Amino acid sequence: MSSRAMPRGAMKAGTPPVERAAEGTAPPRKRAAEQARPAPKRRARGGEVGEVSEVDDEAPAPPRPPELDWDDSPTGGAAAALARRWAARGEELSRMLAAYGASLHEHRADLKEGRFVWLAPGGRVSAEASARLLCSWSRATSVLAMAWADPLLYAAGIGPIDGMPAEQDDVDEEAAWQAAMAAADACGAAYLYRVATPQAWYFLALDAPTFSPERDSFHPGAPVGLVLRAIAEVREAIASRAEPADVVRDRLCALGDSLFHQARYAYRETDWVARLDRTGTCLTHLAKRIPRVSFSAIAAGQRVDEWLERDLAVELIDALSLIEDEWSLFG
């Protein structure tokens, strides 16, 4: 997995809670040197990732003299205070990375080992931290799942938190950041880092960062488990007829894009590239089998319904099952 950083500022109405402070670190803020915020969507779940970090390394502003404030009204609620606190930690991590020349280095996460690293251009590990999964947010379905509810990654994540639901529907970007910050607070994390993939966001708790890592190399683990889980989720959604046709199409497209992304980023120059590319291509072709509501589709005599026709659903399920069988051979 790769990553992104957390917010950097108080939240405003209508905007996500803090944009990233370093590519993948802190929660949202007014101006975080990290991600371009995508528009919130419907519901979805996870995959893996990687993207180049950007860190805000501008010089700190000079100290200002104290100002008197005679207004006794509260300056912000608990949510705003939470965002400011984690934004400050994100900026702290950004400054550390910049000081050691690692602010623009790529990052990777191996949750099985609980390891998060920054990689110099030559592939050497320039910085490292311990990592735990907090939660994931599906960009397609807007479903937020906490680490302990993830059947594949729960062993690499935090345990249940009192009063926090294991899964939530219809969660937007801001609410996803809020849940991640609250979880990071509850588990005593030092920093919060967001790893973004075409399919999902993964929020990680980072601790004990070091710029003198014991191991100066990084080799990503096999993607088999995550590929199988993502395909199974799409297959089950089709079989249960729980989602309309356009959502299923978006799921297939997003998963295909995610595998292409992994092949070019986290798994480049490995034996997994060809397999990831081939599966991504298959999923993209399956997505094209689902007709869109358009004049050309109607003119071609295609039946366009809100829900998948039974015959098409069976064909898609059979194709996905074959892909699962192929990947199971590598498990």
Segments of 153-268 assigned E as strands: 167-168, 191-196, 200-210
Q: Is there a single domain that holds both residue 66 and residue 198?
A: yes
Distance CA 21, CA 33 (A): 6
* Domains held by the chain: number: 2
238 & 196 share domain:
no
| pLDDT tens, the chain, 331 aa long | 544 444 433 333 333 333 333 344 444 443 333 333 344 443 333 333 333 232 233 334 444 444 434 444 445 588 999 999 999 999 999 999 999 999 899 888 888 889 999 999 888 999 999 999 999 998 878 999 999 998 878 889 999 999 999 999 999 999 999 999 999 999 999 999 999 887 789 999 999 999 999 888 888 788 898 899 889 889 988 998 888 898 899 889 989 998 998 898 888 888 999 999 999 999 999 999 998 865 555 555 555 577 888 999 999 999 999 999 999 998 6
Q: Angle at Cα 72 formed by Cα 69 and Cα 75, nearest 5°? A: 80
Structural domain boundaries enclosing 230: 224-328
Q: Is the pTM of this model over 0.85?
A: no
Given 157, 176, 210, the domain boundary residue is 210
218 part of a folded domain:
no
Q: Are residues 182 and 248 in the same domain?
A: no
Q: Are residues 193 and 257 in the same domain?
A: no
Nearest to 109 by CA among 218, 258, 1: 1
Among left, alpha and beta (phi > 0; psi -120 to 50; other), residue 269 is left
